Amino acid sequence: MILLNILLLLVGFVLLIKGADFFVDGSSSIAKLLKVPSVVIGLTIVALGTSAPEAAVSIAAGINGSNEIAISNVVGSNIFNMLMVVGFCAIIKSFDLDKTILKRDFPVNIVAVTLLLVVMFLGSMLSRLDGIIMLVLMIAYVVWLVINALKNREEGNSNIKTISPILSVVYIVGGLAAVIFGGDLVVDNATVLAQAMGWSETLIGMTIIAIGTSLPELVTSIVASKKGENGLALGNVVGSNIFNILFILGLSSTISPIAVDTNAIINTVLLLIMTVLMYLVCVARKKLGRLEGIIMVSLYALYTGYLLYVG
């Protein structure tokens, strides 16, 4: 049985890698055909699509009453995105930081994390009202992105391979389906393996499930980075983190209020600290290179060690 779980885990990884490849090609092509900056595509379509596994896991966990997994999955995924995904992209290829992300989207990300932390401190749970407020803010953010995109249409990167609109859609839908299905295979089988080792629900949520559901962001961003689409790579991470908090936790708590424990608060505080520090580094440096990437990946390794120690 264990060997079957390992085999399905490997199949999931393959689906994630190939699905992300097709997804980036289709999204980048659509961006160029519509004359929309690739960074906007990364902050919307790619971010929403690659966050689908987090949405499925957290919403299902909320409905089933597994509150620890519902929150720890989102917080853990956001920390993984911030440190590992961006860190790996920087190690692979240094890139200049998009000014729009630093001025508009990164601050929104910080506000979203701060809002989540305030709500946690004010009550012992994320209520339906809290969830509705988060969903309204998410809708407002997406509308804001669309309006800005329509006002600032421009020619896409000339290096992007353009394919027909129909084929682009096929790439996006097929790639997204492979990413979601691959993510599910990875999470389900990794969770079985983790439980066999006697890990707690919170630890599984913060590590195995958080990493597993973030693999689409990791693979998609690395593929985009290799193809020179760094705006798509960084935009994907920031957009996913905003989406994870405002939409996933918003929808989950609207469906079923989610209880908050001390561990959730502590990890959210750590997420806020990491997000603010990374923002300050990005503003000061204007560019992320191999050194910054190595530091980010190392910080995540230390954070994982901390989780294993306290878990």
According to the model, what pLDDT value does residue 109 have? 95
pTM over 0.85: no
- What are the tens digits of pLDDT across the range 63-108? 666 666 778 889 999 999 999 999 988 888 887 888 888 888 899 9
**Measured between alpha carbons, how far is 49 from 20 in angstroms, rounded to an integer?**
10
Burial class (CB in 10 A: 0-12, 13-18, 19+), 302: exposed
According to the model, what pLDDT value does residue 242 have? 93
Instruction: Please give the chain's pLDDT, 311 residues, in tens.
Output: 788 988 998 898 888 778 877 887 887 788 778 777 666 665 666 666 667 777 777 777 766 666 667 788 899 999 999 999 999 888 888 878 888 888 888 999 999 999 999 999 887 789 999 999 999 999 999 888 878 776 765 544 445 567 888 998 999 889 888 877 887 788 778 778 777 877 776 788 888 888 887 877 787 778 777 777 666 667 778 888 998 999 989 988 888 888 888 888 999 999 999 999 999 998 888 788 889 999 999 999 999 998 888 86
Give the SS3 label for residue 9: helix
In the chain, how many domains are there?
A: 1
State the Cα torsion 240-207-55-104 to the nearest 10°. Answer: -20
Q: Which of 16, 66, 1, 2 minimizes the C-alpha distance to 185?
A: 16
Confirm if 162 and 29 have CB atoms less than 8 A apart.
Answer: yes
Confirm if 79 and 303 have CB atoms less than 8 A apart.
Answer: yes
According to the model, what pLDDT value does residue 199 have? 77
Q: Which domain holds residue 120?
A: 2-310
Helix (H) or strand (E) holding 90: helix 86-92
According to the model, what pLDDT value does residue 130 have? 94
**Measured between alpha carbons, how far is 120 from 145 in angstroms, rounded to an integer?**
28
Query: Which CATH number goes with the domain that contains 160?
Result: 1.20.1420.30
Residues in the chain: 311
Give the SS3 label for residue 228: coil
- What are the tens digits of pLDDT across the range 198-212? 777 678 888 888 888
According to the model, what pLDDT value does residue 222 have? 80
According to the model, what pLDDT value does residue 155 have? 46
